[in-house]
Structures are given as C-alpha cells and as structure tokens.
Amino acid sequence: MQLLGMSYLLGCLYIGVVWISPWKITVGLTCVLGVVYFFTKKSKPPLQQLSWLQCRPSGSPPSARQAVTTAQAPGVFYVFGGGPCEGPYDNQLFSLVGTSSMFHWEEIMQPGAPSPRGVGVMAFCRGNLYLFGGYDGKEHLGDMHTFDLQTRRWREIPLREPKPCARRGGTMVEFRGKLYLVGGAASMRGFDDVWCYDPDTEVWECLLNTGMGLFRHSAVVFGDCMIIFGGARHVARRQPAESNSVLCFDFPHIRGSGASGRWRELDCGGKVPCGLNSHEAVRLGEEEEEEEEELLLDLAMIMNLPIQILYWSFSVLEDWIRGR
C-alpha cells in the first residue's frame, strides 16, 4: 500500500514538473497530503511477537503490597494505598514514569491525603485523579477525593444523594470527560449497579444495572463501549463464582443505547481464558492516533477532488485555446 502511495505521488509530481503548469503542480503537491497517511501510520507488532521484560525502575519504589488502587494517565502510572498481607493499609501515592527501557519511581508528597485504604477505584479525568471507596481493614468506604496533578493536592468531594454506597473491588473508567463506576462489593455479594459521575456538577447518576452482582473484575474502554471481563459474579441467590464471559456496555447515547446505556454479552471465538477474578486488563494501541490518521486521509481525498476537477477543466480549456 505504501509503494502504491509513493508511485501515485511521484507520478503526480512528474506531471506537474514536466508539463510546467501551475494547476498541475498544485495537483501534485496536494496529493502529498493524500499519501501522508501511508508514511505516518505506525505499524503494530502482532500479539505473537509481544513478550514480557522485567524492568528495574530507579527511584523510590513502593514496598511490597497488595490491594493497591491504580490509575493510568498519559505517560504515567499511579499507585495508591494498599499494604502487606498482614496489614495495615497506608495512603501513600507513587508514580511510575518512563519508556520501555527505563522507568523511575517517585513517592508523591500529598497534603490532605485520603485515609489509608485498599481495593478502591481510581481513574484519570481532565488532568486530575479521582478516588472512590475502598476498604480500610475494618469497614468499607464511600467517600470520594480528587488529586490535582498540577498542585499535587487532594480535595475531598462532598457527595450528594443519589450516590454509590460504600464498596470495594469495583472498576471506574473515564469516557468523554465523565467517570463510570461498575459493581464492587461490601460483603461476598457484588453490586449490580452502574454509576456515572460528572466532574462539572460533582453529581452521581445511577444508570442501567448489569443484572448480576459483579466485583473483582476488569474493565477497559474500547472505542465507544466498555469491555468487562471475568470477576466474581452471582445471579439471584446463588453463591459468587468466577466468570470468563465478556460483557460490553454501550455508553449512553451511543448507537441507540439510550440515556442509561446498554449491556450485552459478547460471543468471543478463539481460546477463551478460564474464569478469573482480581486480575487486570489493558488496551494496546492508541485509538486517538488511528482516528487522526483516518481523518487526515479523508481530508486529503476531499481536498484532492475539487482540485482534480479544476485540473481537468483547465486542461480542456488549454487544449481548446491551443487548437484555435
């Protein structure tokens, strides 16, 4: 495909330069935009070529711990709270910054930090970290805090009804400037609710329920939907059981999903993982870059079309004048 784009570019430039016509030169230069897509598109290795590497970050790493709360911002990974198996939990905040070959840990000093806890949920949204809930070793928490990454200060958000109840083990993701909280538990039975938080109004809204208790699952945003895998699930009065099914939540007002969103179960082929809980999932690749590349190609074709029409029009006019 890149060879085709290069041939097209060279051909257009040849026509413009050899025939010495301003309109034809314009056509050739405009075609450059049409083939930029082929040269800016980043190739991604197939999954078979991916491998694990043990990194040894510099700096001050957190001590060995479990039940941490994590969030990812552009180029930075954050870890909050958690603690050793025997307890207690703490309220330290660490950041991991780096590239594929070099990483660095930093403990962030944080005035007004939330109380010590583990297994809460945290997400990056509009330049801030948002932390909700968790477990402090004695009781479940239902408070919410935001951490300004510029000033490096915490602020507790006063929540009004309706709001999610205290919980641990749920997931929270960001989509188009809002936060979506799914599931969690305050006992061995999970919640089946889905909540949306608007940072502008600082108000929670309860959306469509999942229809099953869900906690210790994983969730990632993929396109216009949220993909949820595994977790401990229970239906009706049955005991929780690990699941390997994949749920898809269409965000509100996406593809006719309505104001509360829409749930559906995906029928996935291939080798399906076994039932898991307390795991992690990530998305590989940046969809924003792909959208920009597709937009660039579309703009190139749109700009090229009227100039091609002008080119042929002036070519006909030029031949008619020469014929006279």
Is 170-284 in CATH node 3.20.20.70? Answer: no
Which pTM was predicted? 0.75
Residue 12's pLDDT is: 57
Residue 5 burial by Cβ neighbours in a 10 Å radius (0-12, 13-18, 19+): middle
CB neighbour list of residue 322: distance below 8 Å, 6 or more residues apart: none
Residue by residue, pLDDT tens for the chain (324 residues) are: 445 555 555 555 555 555 555 555 555 555 555 555 555 555 555 666 778 888 889 999 999 999 999 999 999 999 999 999 888 999 999 999 987 678 999 999 988 999 999 999 999 999 999 999 999 999 999 999 999 999 999 999 999 999 999 999 999 999 999 999 999 999 877 899 999 999 999 999 999 887 788 889 999 999 889 999 988 876 655 666 788 889 999 998 877 777 888 888 898 888 888 887 888 888 876 554 444 444 443 444 444 555 555 555 555 555 656 555
The 10s digit of each residue's pLDDT in 140-165 is 999 999 999 999 999 999 999 999 99
Residue 180's pLDDT is: 97
β-pairing, 58-59 vs 103-107, is parallel
Helix (H) or strand (E) holding 143: strand 140-148
**Number of Cβ atoms within 10 Å of the Cβ of 128:** 17
Q: What is the DSSP letter of 113?
A: P
- Phi/psi of residue 300, nearest 5 degrees: -60, -45
Q: Which of 42, 44, 8 is nearest to 27 (CA)?
A: 8
Q: Is the CB of residue 196 less than 8 Å from the CB of residue 178?
A: yes
Residue 23's pLDDT is: 53
Extents of the domains making up the chain: 2-41+303-323, 55-158, 170-284
Q: Is the CB of residue 129 less than 8 Å from the CB of residue 78?
A: yes
